[in-house]
Amino acid sequence: MAQGSNNNDAFLGSAMQFMQAGQDMAQQFMEFLGKTSGASGAEPLPAADPQALTALQKQFMDQQMSLWQAMLAKQQGQEQSFKVSPEPGDRRFSAPEWRDSPIYDYLHQAYLLNTQYLKQVVEVIPADDDKAKNKMRFLARQVADAMAPSNFAATNPEFIQRALETKGQSITDGINNLIADFEKGRISMTDESVFVVGQNIATTEGAVVFENELMQLIQYKPLTPKVGTRPLLVVPPCINKFYVMDLQPENSLIRFMVEQGNTVFLVSWRNPKEEQGNLRWDDYLEHGPIAALHVIREVCKVKQVNALGFCVGGTILTSALAVLKERGEDIVSSLTLLTTLLDFSDTGEIGLFIDEKGLAAREASIGNGGLLPARDLQNTFSMLRANDLVWNYVAGNYLKGQKPQAFDLLYWNSDSTNLPGPFACWYMRNLYLDNSLRVPGKLQMCGQQVDLGKLDMPVYLLATREDHIVPWLSAYESTRILGGKTRFVLGASGHIAGVVNPASKNKRSYWVNDDVKADADGWLAAAEEKKGSWWTDWATWIKPLAGDLRAPRKLGNTKYKPVEPAPGRYVKERAV
């Protein structure tokens, strides 16, 4: 009985500590919000409703006591009547070690209760608007994720078990992994020694047929005996490298496009160095898509080209087409936009990083020249999914001493790019902050007042349902902005996995509905779900727009001769 009493006392003591820890975390978070609000020059945050806060505290204490009692019952061989489960997709506590020991079983569930409590406290704190509230939610999540017991050696049973199994070697390996990542300046997400650009990723055959200071234009070798007369220009994002669309043959969207009988050209953006630090938004339009379209017309001897843009590449491409429209150049006969924003009224969590004060500071430092470093961009995107892209590797690489597995998509994710300061600041100011692109005539680009509503070519719009960078509801707004007949398709999964969804694997699904007159929710309610990849749907849509079939031409021509084999040297330049 004495031993059981001691165990009960120990658990009760632990429960009291965790209740206090949860309350302290919430209190410190509220104090932090108050300080940061005052430091930003805004009015201090009003206090939370004391009655609502008291009710939350009582509920929290009741839940902690229920957990404590349930764990005691489990120790005595009874069924655990109260459990706290992670949110769907949270794999931090999935290993059996977290449940085999009553200490760690209790530890991780008490942490989950603390996290729930912190989130609930945020909801009762007043906020000026939705963006301020979302910023509180984001910060609370960062705090909660960082405090997880899985992130610390003393509170992670997987660390202890692996250390015992390897007789301490995992600890040595973890320290060596940490030192190596310190030298690289970033967390290793994959075994980078496995991949070489141009050898086992970005291997679709082709040649660079044109280049300037900003980009190389790649023409891919045909893979069919006949090709459509109308070529296809692909404009990928300049934030990261293009080869996310050409990883390996089995998951290469570029190769799939070529296999459908398209003559495919692609803009390979340069990874800017200090010499390119003065480039502006207009430069990206003029020397990116506009230059590429003119070259393609000459190479293929055609009047019109099909065009496709991905993410910010789609925003750049659409802006360039609006400039050409004002110049009287009707070059593009169809437009495909993949997870692209034209209306920036809701930009998801990425928009939380862009506010007037922070942007003014960036404009003062790099707005007239300089670089936005690749590391800053990568860290920002990683924090949007910190558990998956930060803490998962802290626990795996450093605590368990493991080497991350080879994964082509994560290799690409680590191969970030710089951005010229003037380009980045203009983009954030005029699009993210002011949302001016959707307003006819408000923005001047390349000397032209642009109006996206004048773009009257057929449009294929793809959004993805779980996209945290381009929310699909915002992407749907493009149906109201562009002037042409629009096909809107909603893919499953997120910003990258939803796009890179090979047709050959027949995974996931997508939703279609020809009627885009309804709002986004109405569109989805009436949409039909189809199994497999959106790639096949797009291939069916683009086929009649590719023109009559003819024998393929050789790469380039007498004026634009092949410079070097694809993928070219620009994509191989890594950010320092």
Residues labelled catalytic: 311
Q: How far is CA 108 from the centre of its chain?
A: 28
Q: How many helices (DSSP H) and strands (DSSP E) are in the chain? A: 21, 17
Expressed in angstroms, the distance from the first to the final Cα of the chain is 64
Q: How many CB atoms lie within 10 A of CB 374?
A: 22
DSSP per-residue string spanning 291-345: HHHHHHHHHHT-S-EEEEEETHHHHHHHHHHHHHHHTT---EEEEEEES--S--S
Q: How far is CA 560 from the centre of its chain?
A: 35
DSSP per-residue string spanning 379-446: HHHHHHTHIIIIIHHIIIIIIS-PPPPP-HHHHHHHS---EEHHHHHHHIIIIIIT--TTSTTT-EET
Report CA Rg, the chain. 27
Where are the extended beta strands (E) located within 506-551? 509-512, 528-531, 549-550
Do the beta carbons of residue 373 and residue 496 sit within 8 Å? no
Do the beta carbons of residue 567 and residue 197 sit within 8 Å? yes
Do the beta carbons of residue 178 and residue 397 sit within 8 Å? yes
Element (H, E) at 173: helix 169-184
Do the beta carbons of residue 319 and residue 430 sit within 8 Å? no
DSSP state of 89: T
DSSP per-residue string spanning 136-148: HHHHHHHHHHHT-
Name which of 483, 494, 108 is nearest 330 in CA terms: 483
Decide: helix, strand or coil at residue 46: coil
CA–CA dist 347, 325 (Å, integer): 27
Do the beta carbons of residue 228 and residue 213 sit within 8 Å? no
Which token pair is 182?
A: 């310190």
Do the beta carbons of residue 555 and residue 206 sit within 8 Å? yes
Give the burial class of 95: count Cβ atoms within 10 A of its Cβ; 0-12 exposed, 13-18 middle, 19 or more buried.
middle
Question: What residue type is assigned to position 460 of the chain?
Answer: Y
Query: How many Cα atoms within 13 Å fall on the side-chain side of residue 531?
Result: 4
Inter-CA distances, 235 with 98, 314, 399, Å: 46, 7, 41
